[in-house]
Amino acid sequence: MQITLSGTAFKSYEVNIKNRTKEELSKENLSFDNTLTKTNESDNITYQTTNENENTTNIVFTDPTNGNHVQVALDNSIIDRLKRNFSEDDFFQRENGDIRLNAKAEAFVSGWFADIAYKREFLSSDVNNDGKLTEEEYLNTYNAFGIKGTITYNSDDISINEKVDNLGYGNYASIDETIYRTGIHVKSLDDELNYTLNADKDFDGEISLEEAYTSESTIENKVKANIGDFFSLPANQEKGELASFFNDAINFVLDILEKNKKDKNKNIEIDKKQWEQIQQRHNILITESLKQVFESEYKKEKT
């Protein structure tokens, strides 16, 4: 059995790379120090973290949308990952312990910050501007996306395809079900930025469906949960003369995904004898002309 994933869940804001010299970064210290305040009320500040702890380091950069100052708390493990991918000149250590990003590292981080802050509306959803998101505030963000899925039955195999329903950016309050950070209440912009930076495995400024799935669980577990969730709804229960076969087939698929046994090509193994017995039990002969009859779409769409 093969699983095919496609589509982009989120896309980073495009940022022009600005390579500053160490002298420029040193002179800039005073500007940042005079501007950053704990009240986060200055017109020159887009965001100042209130989420720092012993496992994080404050990172500062320029908001690519307006030139304002930004300070976020990044996990030290994320910073180490960034340092492995970008030049050491992209990280300027300031006297107060903050790290000022530069050049490509700044473009990468600030691009994802802008996407989360504005397109996913984390800043506007933080109504009281305290740097934290209540559960109610988080439901107003656009940090979700829907999927369309298709199961195709062949005589000796089964294939599953899932794709992002257009580009992501669904609102939690208007989506019945979502598959991004399932069941998680994201409590701050910092939290989502850390998660997104880690999810973008290839540093290409896009979160593919595969990256979204593997950041939370395994592909097999996510697909199994999606199928199970959809077909557990009464409105999606199959009816009619093929219903018995179809429901047996769905349970068969879920069982395969649960066992998650793979062959040497890393394809999920299917018990072909059992699959043949299911078809025979229901007097089903799957031919090309009947494939569309057994093709089922399970969708999670934004409204």
| Confidence at residue 194, expressed as pLDDT on a 0 to 100 scale | 98
- Amino acid of residue 63: D
Strand, coil or helix: 175: coil
| Confidence at residue 96, expressed as pLDDT on a 0 to 100 scale | 86
| Confidence at residue 291, expressed as pLDDT on a 0 to 100 scale | 66
Alpha-carbon span 98 to 233, nearest angstrom = 50
Alpha-carbon span 181 to 142, nearest angstrom = 13
Q: Are 279 and 156 in contact (CB under 8 A)?
A: no
| Confidence at residue 212, expressed as pLDDT on a 0 to 100 scale | 96
Distant-in-sequence contacts of 226-234, Cβ < 8 A, 24+ apart: 226/147, 226/149, 226/162, 226/179, 226/298, 226/300, 227/149, 227/151, 227/160, 227/253, 227/254, 227/257, 227/298, 228/254, 229/177, 230/149, 230/177, 230/298, 230/299, 230/300, 231/298
**Nearest in space to 176 (alpha carbons), one of 230, 221, 215:** 230
| Confidence at residue 75, expressed as pLDDT on a 0 to 100 scale | 97
Alpha-carbon span 238 to 291, nearest angstrom = 16
Alpha-carbon span 132 to 39, nearest angstrom = 13
| Confidence at residue 299, expressed as pLDDT on a 0 to 100 scale | 57
| Confidence at residue 43, expressed as pLDDT on a 0 to 100 scale | 72
Tokens of 223: 């697909």
The pairing of strands 2-6 and 147-153 is unpaired
The secondary structure of residue 13, as a DSSP letter, is P
Going residue by residue through the chain (303 aa), what tens digit of pLDDT does each one get? 999 999 999 999 999 999 999 889 888 766 666 666 544 456 788 999 998 899 999 999 999 999 999 999 999 999 999 999 999 999 999 988 899 999 999 999 999 999 999 999 999 999 999 999 999 999 999 999 988 899 988 889 999 999 998 787 888 776 655 678 888 899 999 999 999 999 999 999 999 999 999 999 999 999 999 898 888 777 666 665 678 888 899 999 999 999 999 988 888 999 999 999 999 998 887 766 566 666 666 655 443
| pTM tops 0.75, yes or no | yes
Alpha-carbon span 256 to 221, nearest angstrom = 11
Q: Are 17 and 103 in contact (CB under 8 A)?
A: yes
Letter string b/e over residues 13-48, b meaning 16 or more CB atoms within 10 A of that residue's CB: bebeeeebeeeebeebbeebeebbeeebeeeebbbb
Q: Are 115 and 11 in contact (CB under 8 A)?
A: yes
Alpha-carbon span 62 to 131, nearest angstrom = 18
